[in-house]
A and B are shown apart, each in its own frame.
Chain A
Amino acid sequence: MKLQPTLHRAWPVAAGLASFAVATALLFGHSTPSIPGFFWMLAKGAFGDGYAISETLVKATPTLWCALAVAVPAQLGLISVGAEGQMYAGAIAGGALVLFGPRESAWVLIPAMLACGAAGGAAWGAIAGWLRARFGITEIVVTMLQNFIAINVLEYLIHGPWMAPNSGNWPQTADFPAAVTLPPIVSGMRTHVGLFGGVAAALVLWFAVRRTKWGLAVRVLTGNPRVASQAGLSHFAYIVGAMAIGGALAGLGGICEASAIQGRLESTFLQGYGLSGYLVSWLAGHDFRWIVPISILMGAILTSADTLQLGAGLPASSAMILQGVLFACIVGWTSFAKRIR
């Protein structure tokens, strides 16, 4: 008897994954000699050896932060599609401190850089929250437009005032000082402590939603707005707050990536993570516990898409198609299962 509810939840996901596999094979199978070999290549690209696993985790880290940035507003029923812009905002704010701030020791600089990154992302997210709470403008459109704005601001900076003098007109900033590079988890690999930060943040958020008065307030606000207003809960404050916290998380992800992986700011270095993050958060049902493992799976998909690019000569956009198709398959089957139940 106990199995049945699990089965009810599991079969749509299984069906979704199966359709995903079929769709992938149809789309990309023609470029490889055999279909099983194609999937084997995908798996090997993501988990084949220590380096592949490390790369999977590298890609999972910003995805994880973005997914958290989506899941926090989602607790209030808000749909934020702006994690990517918030990441850029965080990276720009943190980068400003590192590039133009005082030279201090790592013990001062790294926390200050992270704080700036979080603040930048939070401010960016709060704008959308404010527009939503004050004017009722849908946050979906605002966050998407903000993505374009953030990307263009970064382009302006790296093509203009922040361009490194010795870069030969290549659009990027000067390298960050070595003191602010986040240390790797295993030396020699690119996986960095930002991953631990993301996992810790997920645990804290899970606790906050389940066990604190804020979590309770959020449930009251979404469950019964009338009770919420009688209890004196401010919708305005919670909407702006949730968007700001989400933004801060994405901003942290952005500055972590800039510091640990790129070591500078450059063009479109965070491209695609906003979408992956949204997808992960949605697949996890905006549940903070599930976000961590699903982010790692998403990291695997992204890494194996890179392998495809090298191995089968497929363009980088394959990753986006893969994600969109995966999303559509799982959305379709889970909703269908709900409908026929």
Chain B
Amino acid sequence: MAFALCGEILGERAGIVNIGIEGQMLAGAAAGFGVAVSTGNPWLGLLAGAAAGMTLSLVHGVLCLVCRANQIVSGIAVLAIGAGCSSYFGSPYVGRQVSGFAPLSVPGMPAAVAGVLRSVSPTMVIGIIVPLAFGAALYTTRWGLRWRAVGESPSAARVLGINPTHYRWAAILLGGLLSGIGGAALSVDYAKGWSEGMTAGRGLVALGLVVMTRWNPLFTTPVAMIFGAAESLSLSAQSWGINVSPYLLSLFPYMAPLIVLALHARFSRRRGQMPASLADILTIGT
């Protein structure tokens, strides 16, 4: 989730909307799980997930940047291809299991630290570090400044000698890579299994929550935790003995982002901080 959110923020900062993250996450989850099962190595699984997400983002890149197709429409095509392919190629792996990552350990550490680390998986750590790293890069490096310039105004960037298409290719591929890792982290590490459509809208939620981060990667982790909290709340409500159908509880992770978004829009300036070139794509008609 944090990976996908971070990928989408970076994409949108360069003026690329990617509706297909859900598809890329699914493809990443299926490919990552497949590889993790057959090699027994979860890290290879993450790599395979990243590769699958990136391959799908190639489709998005060709459609958006080479053909200049509408990004939304292209994203929906990517979503369909990703979701279809993941269940097509993932079907042999339904019901299989992987052991996931070995717990992190540093030789000679005190037992208390080891206890904390045991509940933390490597993907969580990476998921917290990656957005911080990209956030720092986006705001402090030349590369990051140009990246943002492309998202605000591609024509101005072009005048300054920056080729927006290069940056957008990078943004699309990076987004696919991160979504793919996010999907693989979900199947290899979190669920330790693969089932059809297992991302269950996480990519879409990420898409919605980008607004909440105000397009700032540094806010990725706190915002991703909103969804995480909603999800774990709906899971643990049962263990508290609250007698509600699991299907009703599973509504919560989808309702929470909607409510949060509505509240956010109510109490903040409209479209705060949105990269300017996105406005052409997202705000038709208002």
Contacts and interface: CB of A to CB of B under 8 A. Distances in A.
Given A135-B262, A331-B63, A320 B257 contact: no
Interface in A173-222: 221-222
**Chain A: interface size category:** 35 or more
Interface in B240-286: 245, 247-248, 250-251, 254-255, 257-258, 261-262, 265-266, 270-271, 282-286
Contact of B67 (A76, A141, A160, A335): A335
Contacts of B77: 324, 327-328, 331
Interface stretch (A48-56, A101-109, A143-151): A143-151
Interface string A310-325: 0000110111111111
Given A77-B285, A137-B261, A315-B91, A325 B81 contact: yes
Contacts of B62: 332
* Interface SS of A by simple majority: helix
A270 B73 CA distance: 22
B37 interface: no
Interface residues of B, number: 53
A22 interface: no
B262 A320 contact: no
B245 A136 contact: no
Nearest to B69: A335
B214 to A, nearest CB: 14
Interface in B168-215: 196, 200-201, 204-205, 207-208, 211
Contacts of B261: 131, 135, 137
* Interface SS of B by simple majority: helix
Given A77-B285, A145-B208, A221-B285, A160 B247 contact: yes
A328 B84 contact: no
Interface string A153-175: 10110011000000000000000
Nearest to B250: A152
A327 B80 contact: yes
Interface of B: 19, 59, 62-63, 66-70, 72-74, 76-85, 87-88, 91, 196, 200-201, 204-205, 207-208, 211, 245, 247-248, 250-251, 254-255, 257-258, 261-262, 265-266, 270-271, 282-286
